[in-house]
């Protein structure tokens, strides 16, 4: 396929060049095709086209040829789901990763597993993973014995040396709750 250069912007030319490459059957089943989809997803992310990023990462996953490419595609999708607060989609993706490639328990995936456990409010899983950052682990440890509360719409949480203050409610009338600061809780 011949591309015309005259009168085309660089982004449009890049998109056409990529499309020509991706559609060429000579590239089907090659590591170059999966790598091209990963690069295209990166370009689309830079353009702010989130749906196109998702499509690019999914296409990369379909064409992966190496474990590294699989990890790049799946971790990219998992991060995108995290950023979009698509908790169920991310959980399904991590479950699929566990079933299909348990050997891909790479360090890049560990924080995504912690995020998924936090989204499920599964503090026991966060504590069991022990791969979260220190403040997250301290909060999970401190909340291990916590129970549900009737308080909703907590707007401010202040942590002092010896207590924690939570405030909720509208701007006119705020309710407060003061509790002892758990040992190890971040400030």
What are 110-121's pLDDT values in tens digits?
788 888 887 777
Among 117, 139, 112, which Cα is nearest to 128's? 117
CA–CA separation, 24 vs 1, rounded Å?
A: 9
* Residue 4 falls inside a structural domain: no
- CATH number of the structural domain spanning residue 70: 1.25.40
Same domain, yes or no: 19 and 109: yes
Note whether residue 84 is domain-resident. yes
Residues 134 and 160 reside in one and the same domain: no
Residue 1 — pLDDT band, cuts 50, 70, 90? very low
64 and 91 in a single domain? The answer is yes
Residues 98 and 175 occupy one common structural domain: no
Asked if 168 and 175 touch (Cβ cutoff 8 Å), the reply is: yes
Q: In this predicted model, what pLDDT tens digit does every residue of 7-47 receive, in sequence order?
A: 667 778 888 888 999 898 999 999 999 999 999 999 888 88
93-113 tens-digit pLDDT: 888 887 877 766 667 777 888
If asked whether residues 68 and 99 sit together in one domain, one would say yes
Within-domain flag for 91: yes
Measured CA to CA in angstroms, residue 156 lies from 99, 147, 152 at distances of 40, 19, 12
| Same-domain status, 156 and 108 | no
Residues 128, 125: Cα–Cα separation, whole Å: 5
**pLDDT-above-70 percentage for the chain:** 78
Q: Write out the two tokens for 32.
A: 């170059």
At residue 2, the pLDDT reads 47
Both tokens of 77, joined, read 């999708």
**Is residue 69 within 8 Å of 38, Cβ to Cβ?**
yes
Please report whether residue 112 resides in a domain.
Answer: yes
7: its two tokens: 């009168």
**110 with 55, same domain?**
yes
> Which residue segment(s) compose the domain that 40 sits in?
10-150
Are residues 92 and 126 both part of a single domain? yes
């Amino acid at each position: 396929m011949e591309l015309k250069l005259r009168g085309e912007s660089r982004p449009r030319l890049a998109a056409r060049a990529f499309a020509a490459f991706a559609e060429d059957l000579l590239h089907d089943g090659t590591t170059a095709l999966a790598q091209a989809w990963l690069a295209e997803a990166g370009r689309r992310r830079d353009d702010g086209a989130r749906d196109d990023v998702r499509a690019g990462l999914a296409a990369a996953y379909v064409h992966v040829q190496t474990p590294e490419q699989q990890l790049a595609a799946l971790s990219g999708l998992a991060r995108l789901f995290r950023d979009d607060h698509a908790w169920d989609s991310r959980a399904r993706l991590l479950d699929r990763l566990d079933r299909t490639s348990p050997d891909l328990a790479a360090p890049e995936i560990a924080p995504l597993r912690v995020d998924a456990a936090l989204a499920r409010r599964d503090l026991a899983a966060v504590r069991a993973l022990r791969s979260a950052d220190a403040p997250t682990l301290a909060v999970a440890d401190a909340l291990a014995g916590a129970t549900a509360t009737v308080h909703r719409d907590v707007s401010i949480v202040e942590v002092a040396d010896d207590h924690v203050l939570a405030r909720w409610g509208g701007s006119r009338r705020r309710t407060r709750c003061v509790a002892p600061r758990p040992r190890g809780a971040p400030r």
